[in-house]
Amino acid sequence: MPVARGIGRWLIVTTLLLLAALEVLLLVLVFVPLPRRPLIAAGSVLATSWCTPVLGAPALLGLLLVRALWRTRAVRSARWAGWVALTTSAVALASALAPYAAAWETARDRGEGLSLAGQFAGLNYSRGPERDRTLVYARVGRHRMKMDVWLPDGGAPRVPRPAVVWVHGGGWESGHRSQTPRWNEWLNDRGYAVFDIEYRLAPRATQLQQIGDVKCAIGWVRRNAARYAVDPARIVLAGTSAGGNLALSAAYTARDNRPRATCGGARGTAVRAVVSFYGPTDMAGMIAGGANRADPRVRAFMGGSLMTASDGFRLGSPTRLVRADVPPTLLLHGSHDRLVPVAQARELNARLTRAGAVHEYVEIPWADHAFDYNWGNWGTQIARPALADFLRVHAGQ
């Protein structure tokens, strides 16, 4: 009998400590800045995107388990394990509720609501393009640049509809068109045609060439507007992460045609408005003070160093391109972004405010980079109505 009680005690202790270790791991993934290696980054994004249920479920289980097992004689002989589990569970539960409370307050201030059931709406990510929607919009050398065309159901509208040119993310060196398909579906449901584009990736292309590729896509949509029943005066440019950077840079340099469209003289690249989801806004700030300053890949991508390619750094940094007449701008950024510091979005917001430019800044509390890959999390639930309102005002839909 004493042997059985001993085995039961250590089984209970092991269970409590494993649960505590899981909670600590989740807390680290959600809150601690970690190296951006692919596996770690994926775990951080997933844990942060589902922060409330991911932290809340094991925390509640831990509290219930501690309460139930503390009444047994076995746990009384190893109360230290119960206190460890109680502490980690309490911290995890508070950490699970804090993002929801902050998001609820942000949503309330904007006249919106949050859905708990909506947290489980699934992923907003596709492993590959929608090839049955694909066409070539430009040729640069041997490279054929493609876009996926997403059109609303119901055929051609009575009057030309607005369009969104969507630019994917991926750190300028990865990613693909139709990478976030649920945004395209959501926009289609609201009557927008979507042209989800690719662009040449680093290291084969510089950032300025990528901005030129985006301009080529805008020019193509304008030239083919009648074919898709699109109003060329109501084209909105939008992008996520690196795509947000390219979208802002292309929109802010449309008037002076720098960087130039790289597809052979595309004209008419002005857009009605521009939207950036957690995009970098200052390229010098992204590398300053780190090892990337000497990284030959960064030098190649930017066309040189901060000293030798200052014009390239300026044209690829929206904060340096601000004027009073830049297109109306919507910035959506997470306050807990561990890849593109939220300070970048705040600085662009401040400069747009000082310049008197039409813009809106939505900072999403506790959200990390790529928060919208979870279609139902608090950040995406705030971002959707914010984008809908912005498009309704500036694209008339």
Given a contact cutoff of 8 angstroms between Cβ atoms, the answer to whether 73 and 63 are in contact is no
pLDDT at 35 over 80: no
β-pairing verdict for 161-167 and 230-240: parallel
Beta bridge partners of 138: 145
- Tell whether 139 and 239 lie within a shared domain: yes
Query: What is the predicted pLDDT for the residue at 73?
Result: 57
CATH code for the domain of 270: 3.40.50.1820
In a domain, 120, yes or no: no
Query: What whole-number distance in Å separates Cα of residue 42 and Cα of residue 18?
Result: 22
Mean pLDDT for the stretch of residues 191-201: 97
Which residue spans within 241-383 are E strands per DSSP?
A: 273-277, 329-334, 359-364
- Tell whether 173 and 238 lie within a shared domain: yes
311: tokens are 């014009």
Answer with the residue of higher pLDDT: 234 or 397. Answer: 234
Mean pLDDT for the stretch of residues 248-273: 85
- Tell whether 235 and 308 lie within a shared domain: yes
Quick: pLDDT tens for 105-126.
999 998 888 988 888 889 999 9
Q: Which domain holds residue 10?
A: 2-109
In a domain, 114, yes or no: no
Quick: pLDDT tens for 330-349.
999 999 898 899 999 999 99
Query: What is the predicted pLDDT for the residue at 14?
Result: 79
- Tell whether 102 and 135 lie within a shared domain: no
Query: What whole-number distance in Å separates Cα of residue 28 and Cα of residue 47?
Result: 10
In a domain, 124, yes or no: no
- Tell whether 79 and 151 lie within a shared domain: no
- Tell me the backbone φ, ψ of residue 13, rounded to 5 degrees: -60, -45
One-letter identity of residue 302: M
Query: What is the predicted pLDDT for the residue at 59?
Result: 86
Query: What is the predicted pLDDT for the residue at 61?
Result: 82
Answer with the residue of higher pLDDT: 271 or 33. Answer: 271
* Ranges 76-90, 139-153, 380-394: which has the least confidence: 76-90
Query: What whole-number distance in Å separates Cα of residue 369 and Cα of residue 272?
Result: 26
pLDDT at 290 over 50: no
- Tell whether 98 and 136 lie within a shared domain: no
Instruction: Name the pLDDT band for 200 (thresholds 50, 70, 90).
Output: very high
pLDDT at 76 over 80: no
Answer with the residue of higher pLDDT: 304 or 238. Answer: 238
- Tell whether 184 and 241 lie within a shared domain: yes
In a domain, 283, yes or no: yes
In a domain, 322, yes or no: yes
In a domain, 123, yes or no: no
Mean pLDDT for the stretch of residues 280-309: 74
- Tell whether 240 and 321 lie within a shared domain: yes
| pLDDT > 90 fraction of the chain, expressed in percent and rounded | 53
- Tell whether 359 and 229 lie within a shared domain: yes
184: tokens are 């395209």
Interhelix angle 242-252/207-223, rounded to 10 degrees, is 70
Sheet architecture: strand order including 329-334: 134-140, 143-150, 193-197, 161-167, 230-240, 273-277, 329-334, 359-364
Quick: pLDDT tens for 42-62.
777 777 777 778 888 888 888
- Tell whether 156 and 254 lie within a shared domain: yes
- Tell whether 173 and 291 lie within a shared domain: yes
In a domain, 261, yes or no: yes
Mean pLDDT for the stretch of residues 5-16: 65
- Tell whether 174 and 218 lie within a shared domain: yes
Q: Please give the tally of structural domains in the chain.
A: 2
β-pairing verdict for 193-197 and 230-240: unpaired
CB neighbours of 362 closer than 8 A, spacing ≥ 6? Answer: 110, 330, 331, 332, 333, 382, 383, 386
In a domain, 119, yes or no: no
pLDDT at 322 over 80: yes
CA dihedral 274, 361, 249, 269 (to 10 degrees): 20
The CA–CA distances, whole Å, from 242 to 168, 172, 249 equal 7, 6, 11
Query: What is the predicted pLDDT for the residue at 395?
Result: 95
Query: What is the predicted pLDDT for the residue at 291?
Result: 41
